[in-house]
Amino acid sequence: MITPANPSRQWRGVIEEYRDLLDLPPDTAAVTLREGGTPLVHSHWLSGLSGAEVWLKVEGDNPTCSFKDRGMTTAISLAVHEGAKAVVCASTGNTSASMAAYAARAGLTPLVLVPEGKIAAGKMAQAILHGAQIIMVRGNFDHCLTMAKELSWSYPVALVNSVNPARLEGQKTAAFEIVDFLGDAPDYHLLPVGNAGNIAAYWLGYTQYADLGRATKRPVMRGFQAAGAAPLVTGEPFPDPETKATAIRIGNPASWKLAEAARDESGGRFAAVTDEQILSAQRDLASRDGVFVEPASAAGIAGILQELAQGESYAGRRVVITVTGHGLKDTATALEAFGELVDVVVDADVEAAARAAGLA
Ligand SMILES: *Cc1c(COP(=O)(O)O)cnc(C)c1O
């Protein structure tokens, strides 16, 4: 490989940045797209509303535009280290997009199981272009995950869903980055929850940093699920989860126990938000803070808005909200609330444009 003149001028990806803190065999070569190192963006809008210091961890700024890349670099690197030739995952879209990209770099064959008709077009395009073999299943994500696990038991394919502990090792680096940037853990951490790997990974990361003395505390964890797919809120699996936030359309989260442990150990909680709240939070975040996220990613934003409306106070506290994936992944859902997109059409004439814009 060619050595650049100033390699330290570019973020190296989560394995090389945090290798000594990750539970990976030390000689594991990194399969990386330089994931992680995502911005923590101050939310003027939510800070103003709440009187808190609110930061957005913008995970759409990863190579395949969701946080899944953090766990995929570790899972695929380990799969290669262990001699795998093929990898499989069940996915609501982003895991398959990420797995396909990292498998392409590593020369592995990617096999994807997705629920029929429920994958956003952008995510499907990613998986297809990166060369995944895609199998649509007449069923939901939970059915796909069961099938992916059983395939990995009976055939020579490595499972890279977040039940694979290597995924959480990579994903916990988001908590490291937050503490490294802020200088300590925040008071609260809010995020969307689907299969619950991410909340488990954040808790792992915050706990590790507190144990190492790199943070003086751990945040209160608050997870938000879609009302139509809220098993951690009700305590019961949802046999037919339904929500427009397809990335969290999961009825029986694989990391259920770890998510409950994160809640209990942090004094946190889970709550549900409706699709209407999610989509309205998505639009407000885009138009007020300039951050365009996919619907599921707005669940934490909808969550803090709901809590503020219910009289909860975050005043004077430091809050981080993870926005998990990029808005361009699913433009169809984003635009549903808008009718005719642009109905102002003028001749190629400055005065006509000025009149139409109300300037003249
Ligand atoms: C995967 C995903 C989630 C849910 O994360 P879990 O680890 O399954 O709880 C939320 N938002 C987006 C954009 C995702 O891709």
- pLDDT tens by residue, 230-286: 999 999 999 999 999 999 999 999 999 999 999 999 999 999 999 999 999 999 999
At 1 the pLDDT is 65
What is the residue whose two structure tokens read 């975040």?
Answer: 285
Distance between CA 331 and CA 50 in Å, rounded?
A: 29
In this structure, which residue's CA is closest to atom 8 in ligand 1? 195
Q: Which H helix or E strand runs over 56?
A: strand 53-58
Name the 3-class secondary structure at 277.
helix
How many CA atoms, within 13 angstroms, populate the side-chain half-sphere of residue 128? 8
- Residues lower than pLDDT 50 in the chain: none
CA dihedral 117, 121, 125, 131 (to 10 degrees): -20
In angstroms, what is the span from residue 278 Cα to ligand 1's centroid? 14
For 176-181, which contacts have Cβ atoms below 8 Å and span 24 or more sequence positions?
Answer: 176/18, 176/21, 176/205, 176/208, 176/209, 177/36, 177/37, 177/38, 177/40, 177/57, 178/40, 178/55, 178/57, 178/320, 179/206, 179/209, 179/214, 179/215, 180/214, 181/40
Name the 3-class secondary structure at 186.
coil
Q: Which of 38, 62, 66 to mutate to test the pocket of ligand 1 (most atoms within 8 A of CB)?
A: 66
Query: pTM for this structure?
Result: 0.96
Q: Which two tokens stand for residue 120?
A: 């956003």
**Closest atom of ligand 1 relative to the 200 alpha carbon:** 7
In angstroms, what is the span from residue 123 Cα to ligand 1's centroid? 13
Pocket of ligand 1 (CB under 6 A): 66, 68, 94, 162, 192-198, 247-248, 294, 296-297, 324-325
Distance between CA 91 and CA 133 in Å, rounded?
A: 13
**Closest atom of ligand 1 relative to the 329 alpha carbon:** 13
User: What distance lies between CA 211 and its chain's CA centroid?
Assistant: 25
User: What distance lies between CA 264 and its chain's CA centroid?
Assistant: 22
At 95 the pLDDT is 97
Q: Which of 35, 59, 65, 67 to mutate to test the pocket of ligand 1 (most atoms within 8 A of CB)?
A: 67
In angstroms, what is the span from residue 88 Cα to ligand 1's centroid? 18
Distance between CA 162 and CA 160 in Å, rounded?
A: 6
What is the residue whose two structure tokens read 């365009």?
Answer: 292
